[in-house]
Amino acid sequence: MIELNINNETDKLKAVVLGLANSNGPVPKVEETYDPKSMEHILAGTYPLEEDMVNEMTCFETVLLKYDVTVYRPKLIQNYNQIFTRDIGFVIGDVFVKSNILPEREQELDAIQFIIDSINPSKVVKPPLEVHIEGGDVMLWGNHVFVGTYKGSDYKDYITARTNKEGVAYIKAMFPDKIVKEFDLIKSKLEARDNALHLDCCFQPVGKDKGIIYKRGFREEADYLYLVDLFGKDNLFHVKRNEMYNMNSNVFSIDTNVVVSEQKFTRLNNWLRSKGFIVEEIPYAEIAKQEGLLRCSTLPLIRE
């Protein structure tokens, strides 16, 4: 049995589900895209090649194994995108929550069912259909659960809005002992530089008291200031618009002092090292073209 244990984003990682880029399928049609960045690269003829994405994920797995992490992979579905396991489920404490994802993506959840079958069934929950919530919008920090959402009245018109108010209410009801703090995020269907697809596209904690943040990802300045007050301004690395577009906040922590980051994130990686972090740099820029990066590709199951 897998004994789930996830209480924050940075404690020593013991077990994780890492996505797959093999048999990723043909380049999608523009009307099939779920996010503006993929659409941009399809139109430009720069959509990532499967071979390059497989290589990037192999580099990521190599780093995880170097730190003695147990790495699970989904069952392969032919011609299907299975890279972003963060979307399809998440763990809070010792509970696995299955996401109500976009209907076209249901098979992704089926492909990790064999892993879910190794978890105590009483610790696996599936929210009601009206509850929309994806793992990229859920972040644990001690007694806090940070939840990204979109509160616009036009929520249903945005395929880039993935967690609704019912999703926030569900987390509050399921975990009454947690401080559940929601963040209203900026969304765009057309401009990836102004689209915080998930909370981890504009914020993520690192280490014990640091974080990476993009101020303009939040619709309300009060939400941004909440995090500044909680972490302290000097403990936050502020990313710029183009760095947010390149997914600088979507790194991944293997331990409180070990961060996996994209090799081209020079300014961020230098800052992390100046704060005492070991930075494991890998190539991941091709996968980033689908508006997801390192955190998006992982579904952590156990941290110490």
> Hey, what domains does the chain have and what are their CATH numbers?
13-303 (3.75.10.10)
**Chain-centre distance of CA 123, in angstroms?**
22
Q: What percent of the chain is predicted at pLDDT more than 70?
A: 92
What does the pLDDT look like over 283-295, one tens digit per residue?
A: 999 998 887 899 9
Q: CB under 8 Å to 114, separation ≥6 — which residues?
A: 75
pLDDT digits (tens, 9 = 90+) for 180-223: 999 998 856 555 566 667 899 999 999 999 999 999 999 899 99
Cβ neighbours for 17, distance < 8 A, ≥ 6 positions apart: 72, 73, 74, 85, 112, 115, 298, 299, 301
Q: Is the pLDDT of residue 160 over 80?
A: no
> Nearest 5°: CA angle at 239, between 226 and 20?
100
Q: In DSSP terms, which residues pair with 185 in a beta bridge?
A: 218
